A = this chain, B = another copy of it.
Amino acid sequence: MRKVAIIGIGMNKWGELWDTSLRELYTEAALAAMDDAGVARVDSMYIGCMSSGLFTGQEHLSSLMADYTGMAGTPATRVESACNSGGVALRQGFIEVASGMSDLVLVGGVEKMTDVDGGMATYALATAADQDYESFHGVTFPGLYAMIANAHMARYGTTREQLAMVAVKNHHNGSMNARAQYPFEITVEGVLDSVRVADPLRILDCSPITDGAAAVILCPLEKAKEYSDKAVVEIVGSGHATDTIALHSRKDLSWLGATYTAAQRAYAMAGCKPEDIDLAEVHDCFTIAEICVTEALGFFDKGDGGPAVERGDTAITGKIPVNSSGGLKSKGHPVGATGVAQIVELTEQLRGESGKRQVKNARRGLAQNMGGSGGSTTVHILEVK
């Protein structure tokens, strides 16, 4: 397998983008990434998107996005793995370049979520759970993650305040990110006083509904310098795993098995350990998710994810900065785009281009993206050369 580099990144300012359509969102990010890489065409394209069918009545994004980026003819493939669609798109692009099939591959993620009302958005998102045994009976994602939170609090003594501190930290980071949907600070008191969604989760524990896209350009590592004179970032590890789709099938509700397995696979490929990671972007769809993820990635012991946030270990100036971008909570969560946007953030950080939120001495970053209540996960490890 060939080594693979990231030579271009692109992303919109995320938010409720009433004037921008699905195809425009993707095209904007894709062309920005191509511009950043200095390439005028690609050999192949991946589009991560969860549910353009339910959100906009449009499937067949392969043809649509090749067409609207001006590259009709080019092989294009849409992949879906719920909120992990972007991470899976990156992995497919990685495999294609590694295989030798293609040199220049565009990996984009997109979701246009605000063309439907809130009830339909909640329905569309719930299609990531088990339709027959979960969604049909009325549970939605805040409810599923509330069960995870209750299990974690009961088993480990994780506090309601520690959950809030995840949101506060991520909003602090997001306040320094011009592309974030909600680039402002919040407080622990503000989170605790916000509307209850599914006990113990409040509205400020939840990532928002967002329109947005992100894209990166991949090429063989050995050819990276032919295209770009920016710092070269290599994908040194890629791990992918699944778990049961239904939460009730798991032995321990507070443990994300697919994240653990995907991380182990990525660490093995990269030849490194959790303590070798300088910063991470992880899937904080709800505040409890970030706590569980940082444990499953091996950054902290089981049950220590909550105290770690309280100690400041995951702050930009901490031991292992998590979600310097603002995370899903502040930056926004257009579900198919999230996994690719994590790679955009890490690449900027590793290039040293992150301005006020720059992590010092960032040489190796990890991205963790997951679908549903953790039923699928990808983990990627990037290194600046």
* A244 contact set on B, CB distance < 8 A: 63, 67, 72
A353 sits at the interface (CB 8 A): no
With A67-B242, A73-B257, A242-B73 in contact, do A81 and B95 touch (Cβ < 8 Å)? no
In the bound complex, what is the Cα–Cα distance between A23 and B136 (angstroms)?
Answer: 15
The docked-state distance in angstroms from the alpha carbon of A305 to that of B124 is: 43
> Count the A residues whose beta carbon is within 8 Å of the partner chain — how many?
66
> How distant is the Cα of A54 from the Cα of B67 in the complex, in angstroms?
24
- Rounded to whole Å, the gap between the CB of A370 and the closest CB of chain B is 10
Whether A135 pairs with B57 at a CB distance below 8 angstroms is: yes
Minimum Cβ distance to chain B for residue A98 (Å): 5
Within 8 A of B (CB), among A124-154: 124, 127-132, 135-136
B98 in contact with A101 (CB, 8 Å)? yes
Question: Which of chain B's residues have a CB closer than 8 A to the CB of A130?
Answer: 64
Residues from chain B with a CB closer than 8 A to the CB of A51 are 53, 59
Query: CB < 8 Å: which of B71, B77, B375 contacts A63?
Result: B375
Minimum C-beta distance from A119 to chain B (A): 14
A60 touches B372 (CB 8 A): yes
Task: Among B59, B67, B75, point to the contact of A128 (Cβ < 8 A).
Answer: B59
Taken together, the copies of this chain in the complex come to 2
Measured between alpha carbons, how far is A95 from B53 in the docked complex, in Å? Answer: 27
Q: Mark A243-265, 1 if CB is under 8 A from B, else 0.
A: 11110010000000110010000
Give Cα A343–Cα B76 distance, bound, in whole angstroms: 21
CB atoms of A376 and B62 under 8 A apart: yes
Task: Tell whether A66 is near chain B: CB-to-CB under 8 Å.
Answer: yes
B residues near A60, Cβ cutoff 8 Å: 80-82, 127-129, 245, 371-372, 375-376
Contact (Cβ within 8 A) B242 A58:
no
A80 to B341, CA, bound (A): 21
Q: Flag if B54 contacts A53 (CB, 8 Å).
A: yes
Q: In the complex, which residues of chain B have a beta carbon less than 8 angstroms from the beta carbon of A21? A: 132
User: Within the assembled complex, what's the spacing in Å between the Cα atoms of A71 and B57?
Assistant: 32
Interface string of A62-95 (1 = CB under 8 A from B): 1110110001111111111110100010011001
Which chain B positions have C-beta within 8 A of A80? Answer: 59-62, 78-80
Known: A63-B82, A78-B79, A95-B95. A127 touches B245 (CB 8 A): no
**What is the CB-to-nearest-CB distance from A26 to chain B, in angstroms, rounded to a whole number?**
13
Whole-angstrom distance from the CB of A176 to the nearest CB of chain B?
33
Q: Which of B71, B91, B375 contacts A67 (CB 8 A)?
A: B375
Q: Scoring A residues 35 to 57 as 1 if CB is less than 8 Å from chain B, else 0, what string do you get? A: 00000000010000011011011
Q: Knowing that A1-B100, A77-B92 are A-B contacts, what are 8 other residue pairs whose CB atoms are under 8 Å apart, sorted by A's residue number?
A: A1-B99, A53-B53, A59-B80, A60-B129, A62-B81, A78-B80, A95-B99, A99-B99
* 8 closest residue pairs by CB, A with B: A63-B375, A99-B99, A75-B240, A66-B242, A60-B82, A58-B131, A59-B127, A63-B245
